[in-house]
Amino acid sequence: MISIQNISKQFGKFKVLNNVSFDCGQGQCIALIGPNGSGKTTIIKSILGMVHPDTGSISFEGKDIASDWLYRNHIGYMPQIGRYPENMSIGQVLDMMKDIRKLPDSQIDHELFEAFNIRALLDKRMGTLSGGTRQKVSACLAFMFSSKALILDEPSAGLDPVSSEILREKILAEKKKNKLIIITSHILSELDELITEAVYMQDGSLRFHNSIQQLQKQTGEGKLARAIAAMIRQQDLQAAKGHTAILTAVK
Amino acid sequence: MKKMIKYIIADILRSRIMIAYTLVLLAISFSVFAIEDNPSKGILSLLNIILFIVPLVSIIFSTIYIYNSGEFIELLVSQPLPRKTIWLSMFAGLAISLSLSFLAGAGFAILIYAMSATGLIMIATGILLSFIFVAISFLASVRIRDKAKGIGAAIMLWLYFAMLFDILVLFFLFQFSEYPIEKGMVALTALNPIDLSRVLILLHIDVSAMMGYTGAIFRQFFGTGSGMLIALIIMLVWTVVPLGLSTIRFNNKDL
């Protein structure tokens, strides 16, 4: 559904993305993980057209996104930090987004809106809201338009445990509807049971892209966090072995 | 797009700075007209205050607003909207709400006390200056990533247009006082929208006689209908060029 091909991006002298390629298929729930500054957010921003890659291309349902903006009709995005104009009320923000998407009211998904009880806060100004409440509004906006693809950047950061669980249930429900979901998160334990594939980024390069079954089989670990740690250790070990092999060969 | 502009305007007009701006303009203009018994004298006093405050508030408020809306602009970019629409809606929202504040603050008093051609020109220049300085702030904030540097640049730009430019012109005038530079002076005014507004309004008050030979040239040039039209076109160029350049830059920018 989304295909990323050989994209590279440089900010000044700093190479943020280095020849990254991977495919995201429909019905998958993909975790984008990696240390801070490994280029996760830049990939997401590239998919959304916020960052223009220096080289390479991204296509959405087979069409190149470079000069197109209509494909974003099919993407729901939840940013890492949601900041809105201070004096706009929640109701106005929701109305404005509905107006941009132009989706008939019958097709709008109000599930999160009800579950987070946003209705009681409709007249509150965005500037007076806590970080967690703003995050709830962001989540509502991302899921409201029944988009085919959902991109969630650190969705549970700042959410209380109950809301976090509501969001998790919602993600699971959307996954069953055969949608593509891309999540970045640092808390790997909350991704268990949710995701079907993991993409691991490091220093702007793709380190591995495996399905969960594959990861579990290869490492013998059941939990995602352990499986990924084991996978990295294995790869490092192999690299070190290769290194010593070369050294001995030189000697 | 229309609805987006409407919500942006509603957001800006409710901000405390905007309300303070309107009230300060209101207080200044009413007190100026209350002190001066002659409305055209009142206009003259008000002129200097308006040419000082309107560009300052327009450029700084909109620079800060654009930087504070960084994440909101990102969210809008992730929606099915062309970037041009987003940028121009932000511009329309800011320029219209600053103009509305100016109208409610100063325009109101001018219409009551000095309802004349000069008064109307003053209202028009106030609105045009709001548009121009919002456009300049857009160019500054799209080019500079860092918020502190961007606001610094906005202040420097205002300082340049409001004061430094006049000092440079004065320097130029003294250096070349022995040459016939009157026509050159007319061209020079076109380089600064604040000066252009000042000349336009002074020409309509009877004080232009005090401006000497250069004043006469100005009168000959800007006093006529076609001169006014040229001045209006120059002011529009001052809006369209920075706005156009900033839109092109925004279209290719990495957020």
Q: pLDDT for B227-243, tens place per residue?
A: 888 888 999 999 999 99
Confidence band of B29 (pLDDT split at 50, 70, 90):
very high
Confidence band of A225 (pLDDT split at 50, 70, 90):
confident
Q: In this structure, what is the dihedral angle of CA atoms B8, B9, B14, B16, given to the nearest 10 degrees? A: 90
Interface test with B, best of A68, A69, A140 (most B CBs within 10 A): A69
More confident residue, B61 or B254: B61
A50 contact B CB<8A: yes
- Can you give the pLDDT at residue A1? 86
> Is residue B222 scored above 80 in pLDDT?
no
- Can you give the pLDDT at residue B208? 60
> Is residue B183 scored above 80 in pLDDT?
no
Chain A CB contacts of B69 under 8 Å are: 85
Q: What is this model's ipTM?
A: 0.89
Of A70, A84, A101, the CB nearest to B72: A84
Confidence band of A76 (pLDDT split at 50, 70, 90):
very high
Across the interface, whether the CB atoms of A100 and B4 are under 8 A apart is answered: yes
Of B3, B74, B80, the CB nearest to A69: B80
- Can you give the pLDDT at residue A215? 85
- Can you give the pLDDT at residue B213? 67
Residue of B nearest to A41 (CA): B255
Across the interface, whether the CB atoms of A48 and B77 are under 8 A apart is answered: yes
Compute the distance between CA of residue A130 and CA of residue A86 in angstroms, rounded to an integer. Answer: 12
Q: Report the pLDDT averaged over residues A227-237.
A: 87
Q: Are the C-beta atoms of A42 and A9 separated by less than 8 Å?
A: yes
What would the pLDDT profile of B128-176 be if each residue is shown by its tens digit?
999 999 999 999 999 999 999 999 999 999 999 998 998 998 888 888 8
Chain A CB contacts of B81 under 8 Å are: 69, 72, 100
- Can you give the pLDDT at residue A242? 82
Across the interface, whether the CB atoms of A100 and B78 are under 8 A apart is answered: no
Confidence band of B206 (pLDDT split at 50, 70, 90):
low
Compute the distance between CA of residue A90 and CA of residue A120 in angstroms, rounded to an integer. Answer: 10
Per the structure block, which two tokens stand in for B34? 């209350």
Compute the distance between CA of residue B119 and CA of residue B109 in angstroms, rounded to an integer. Answer: 10
Across the interface, whether the CB atoms of B255 and A52 are under 8 A apart is answered: no
Chain B CB contacts of A101 under 8 Å are: 79-80
Of A85, A92, A141, the CB nearest to B69: A85
Helix (H, G, I), strand (E, B) or coil at A63: strand
Q: Taking an 8 Å Cβ-Cβ cutoff, which residues of chain B contact chain A?
A: 3-4, 7-8, 10-12, 14-15, 68-72, 74-83, 252, 254-255
- Can you give the pLDDT at residue B38? 84
Q: Report the pLDDT averaged over residues A189-213.
A: 87
Packing angle, helices B225-251 and B83-102, rounded to 10: 140
Across the interface, whether the CB atoms of A69 and B7 are under 8 A apart is answered: no
What would the pLDDT profile of A80-110 be if each residue is shown by its tens digit?
888 899 999 999 999 999 999 888 888 888 8
